[in-house]
Structures are given as structure tokens and as C-alpha cells.
Amino acid sequence: ITANAGADDSICIGSNITLNGTGGGTYSWIPAASLSNSSIYNPVASPTVTTTYTLTVSSGSCSDNDIITIVVNQLPTANAGSDDSICSGSSTSLNAGGGTSFVWSPSTGLSAVNISNPVADPTATTTYSVIVTDANGCSDTDALTITVNPLPMANAGPDESMCTGATAQLSASGGTQYSWSPGTGLSSTSVNNPIASHTATTTYYVTVTDGNG
């Protein structure tokens, strides 16, 4: 009788592995607690810590022993990064960590799905999940949400006319911050209602920013 418990192996915690003993006759594995059946040649092992199993193969009065060690590797801790928000038409860089390989889903709006730091430019609020795998082949999943905020509706007000030497008050709306250009002839470039006293016909542009930036 020559017992053979098989080659040492490894699993990720929470997984299992089928042992494969040989040698003929009857089989007995110890410890039996994490085995599906300790008296067959191919029990399923689901240890939660690294475990060395001893296999005893018997035939009549003859027997032999062999051992196998199953290393139990912990899962990585996937980190997809923090939730973020962008303005419609803009993009942001994701940055996952915790392992050596990465797979993002869904692929919509991503520059790549198999790197840690793809550029995301979704057109609608999207939750992205990332599967992070470490050097032992163990995986964990994390997710983040990219909120897509609509652009404000900038309104510079109606066109105005005035006599030379007079003034006119502009009146923009649509946001919380305003930036006018050019600044020539304006009492302020950072309020929604500056006084215009220009001496020539001028087209003014206003950039309107809302509370989401």
C-alpha cells in the first residue's frame, strides 16, 4: 500500500477544493471537521484556515499515510474609491485599489474596464462596480456612484440699447455665480446685474455656475 494524498494546494477563504487520494483499499482523512466525507478518496475540503490533512490508506492489515496542506488565503479588500459627481459633458478619473488586477462594470462611459484608474464620462448617474483580484487569485468587489449633474440654463437677459453717456443694468440668471466678459464698461464682472456704461456697441458674455459647480 502506498498512500498519496495529492499535491499541496491553496484556496481563497470561503471556497472549497476536492482532494484526490490514491493507493487503493479504504481511505480515512483527518481532521474530518472541514471535509464532506472523511472516508472516501475524494472528499470536498472547505477549511477556513490553513490545514494539513493526513490520509490513511488501508488494505487488510496493511496501511500507509500521506499528508497534504491546503493553504487558505484571505480575500483582498477592494476599494473602488469615493463617490463623486461631475457636470454633464465632463469626466472624472476612477482609482481602485486593493489588488493586482481590476475589472469594472458596466463598461458604459469608461475609457477601459481592466485597469485600476479608467476615465469615466457617463451621461447619466451611474454606479460602477470593480472586481479586485490579488496575487493569490482571490477577489473582492466594491462600488461607487458617479452623479451626473445637468448644466444650468444661462440667461444673459435681453439685448439692450442706450444713448451715448447713459447706463444700462444687465440682469443675468440661471445660477449662483456669474462671470462677465469683456469687463470693459461694467461696474462688476462677478455679479448677475452689473451696470454697463460702455461707449460703443458691445456684446457681453456671461458664464453662469450653479451650486454643483
Instruction: Give dist(CA 17, CA 8) in Å, integer.
Output: 11
Contact 197, 185 (CB under 8 A): yes
132 Cβ neighbours under 8 A, 6+ residues apart: 76, 78, 79, 96, 97, 98, 99, 101, 102, 139, 140, 141, 142
**Which residue(s) pair with 72 in the sheet?**
11
Contact 15, 36 (CB under 8 A): no
- pTM greater than the 0.85 cutoff: no
CA distances in angstroms from 68 to 9, 48, 168, listed in the order given:
8, 16, 89
Instruction: Give dist(CA 77, CA 99) in Å, integer.
Output: 8
Please report, in tens digits, the pLDDT of each residue of the chain (213 residues total). 899 999 999 999 999 999 999 998 899 999 999 999 999 999 999 999 999 999 999 999 999 999 999 999 999 999 999 999 999 999 999 999 999 999 999 999 999 999 999 999 999 999 999 999 999 999 999 999 999 999 999 999 999 888 888 999 999 999 999 999 999 999 999 999 999 997 889 999 999 999 999
